[in-house]
């Protein structure tokens, strides 16, 4: 088998859905959470071929054939690994990289190593939070924000002690080298070559992939110092690409699949507070702007995306940057508007699931949100501002390709902002010509 850069293989898997690929070859029938079909690899009268969209895996209980979308294409087309990748790369619009025979095996071993280190490190951090005297201040910090010890246990939070080499020494005593720890992103190397822990005196939030494996960590400082970042995250590694993952998706997946909805929040505690109060389809984006890979990941399980970011200007700008990416992937976007000076964590803690549910019911669609954000930049009682806003509004409305949807938004905006209907229609027509 020709070795291919493992990162490229992961890009293909994130870009494509196994259900879409297999359904191009055989008809699939939805059966509960999975899909079933007559196996294409042996003769049968009763379907025993199953596709699991959550794990992106297929298996035949009749003949034992199974694997991911790459192995399916290899088997059904009777072609090599590289040939299957070529087909799938074209399907995903990606260019196949040059072959590197040894890279794939090296990459596989590195990924396994990092998963092992991450799992052990999560246990180390969790033990220090729950059992050590040093972790008590972190327990108190979380308690002050509405999270008790059961919550810390349920979401496997941890504490990184205020020392330079606590985790590094722990891992090295268990046989891991400095290079191993650096690869996992859990240590940094000083100018003198000495290693020191990346996370120090921080509450630790393990970040999981869709299979529940620890792929990275986020740390919230307990020091309110100017030169200390409030949040510090793992760097990208062989197992962690922040633009391809969503915090909390391992907990949210069942509810996402059941409801067809996902609620995207900004921070770790937002998500945990949501799940604690029964909002079980909440995740966080692990960054300020969404990526195509995250949109494609969500699209496998949901059609509706609710955005719930902090109710401040920076939060709104971050929200706006990501919406078009999600929309272009065919997801239906609605924006939850929180009260001023509230974040999801605080709002849910006070108003519970019912209060947040009312905000979801009142969520505005993508175009309404864009228009409202634009209107907030102008004093519409001033003629110059109203002219500029009307032009901006016409430009936004011109982006709507569906005729009926565009017409309804034009009528609504005309009434809401007291702009002559014909004037607005002419403006939209100019932008679309």
- Averaged over successive runs of 10 residues, the pLDDT of the chain (433 residues) comes to 67 91 92 92 86 93 90 84 86 74 68 96 99 96 96 98 96 97 96 93 96 94 84 93 92 92 95 98 86 87 90 62 84 92 91 97 93 92 95 95 94 96 96 91
| pLDDT the model gives residue 2 | 46
For 384, residues 6+ apart whose C-beta sits below 8 A from its C-beta are none
**Helix (H) and strand (E) counts in the chain:** 18, 16
| pLDDT the model gives residue 362 | 96
Q: Where are the alpha helices (DSSP H) in 54-133?
A: 69-77, 81-92, 103-131
| pLDDT the model gives residue 76 | 84
| pLDDT the model gives residue 415 | 96
What's the pTM value of the predicted model, to 2 decimals? 0.78
Can you give the three-state secondary structure of 352-385, one letter per residue?
Answer: HHHHHHHHHHCCEEHHHHHHHHHHCCCCCCCHHH
| Residue 35 phi, psi (nearest 5) | -125, 145
Euclidean distance between CA atoms 320 and 385, whole angstroms:
22
């Amino acid at each position: 088998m020709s070795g291919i850069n493992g990162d490229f293989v992961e890009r293909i898997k994130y870009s494509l859905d196994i259900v879409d690929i297999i359904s191009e070859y055989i008809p699939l029938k939805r059966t509960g959470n999975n899909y079933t079909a007559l196996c294409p690899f042996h003769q049968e009268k009763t379907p025993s071929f199953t596709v699991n969209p959550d794990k992106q895996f297929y298996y035949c209980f009749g003949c034992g054939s199974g694997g991911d979308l790459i192995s399916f294409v290899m088997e059904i087309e009777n072609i090599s690994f590289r040939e299957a990748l070529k087909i799938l790369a074209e399907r995903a619009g990606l260019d196949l990289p040059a072959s590197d025979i040894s890279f794939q095996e090296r990459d596989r071993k590195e990924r396994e190593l990092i998963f092992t280190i991450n799992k052990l490190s999560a246990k180390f951090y969790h033990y220090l939070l729950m059992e050590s005297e040093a972790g008590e201040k972190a327990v108190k910090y979380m308690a002050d924000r509405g999270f008790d010890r059961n919550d810390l246990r349920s979401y496997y939070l941890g504490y990184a002690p205020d020392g330079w080499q606590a985790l590094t020494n722990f891992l090295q005593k268990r046989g891991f080298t400095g290079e191993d720890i650096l690869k996992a992103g859990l240590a940094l190397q000083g100018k003198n070559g000495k290693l020191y822990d990346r996370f120090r005196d921080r509450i630790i939030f393990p970040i999981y992939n869709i299979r529940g494996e620890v792929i990275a960590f986020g740390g919230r400082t307990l020091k309110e110092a100017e030169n200390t970042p409030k949040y510090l995250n793992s760097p990208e590694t062989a197992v962690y690409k922040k633009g391809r993952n969503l915090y909390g998706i391992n907990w949210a997946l069942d509810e996402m699949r059941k409801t067809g909805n996902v609620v995207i929040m900004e921070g770790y505690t937002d998500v945990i507070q949501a799940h604690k109060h029964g909002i079980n389809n909440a995740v966080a984006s692990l960054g300020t702007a969404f990526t195509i890979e995250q949109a494609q990941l969500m699209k496998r399980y949901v059609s509706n995306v609710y955005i719930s970011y902090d109710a401040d200007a920076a939060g709104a700008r971050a929200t706006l940057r990501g919406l078009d990416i999600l929309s272009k992937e065919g997801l239906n976007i609605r924006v939850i508007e929180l009260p001023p000076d509230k974040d999801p964590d605080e709002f849910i803690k006070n108003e519970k699931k019912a209060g947040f549910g009312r905000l979801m019911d009142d969520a505005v669609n993508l175009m309404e949100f864009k228009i409202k954000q634009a209107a907030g930049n102008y004093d519409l009682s001033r003629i110059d501002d109203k002219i500029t806003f009307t032009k901006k509004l016409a430009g936004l409305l011109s982006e709507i390709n569906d005729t009926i949807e565009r017409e309804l938004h034009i009528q609504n905006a005309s009434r809401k902002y007291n702009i002559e209907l014909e004037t607005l229609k002419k403006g939209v027509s100019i932008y679309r010509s």
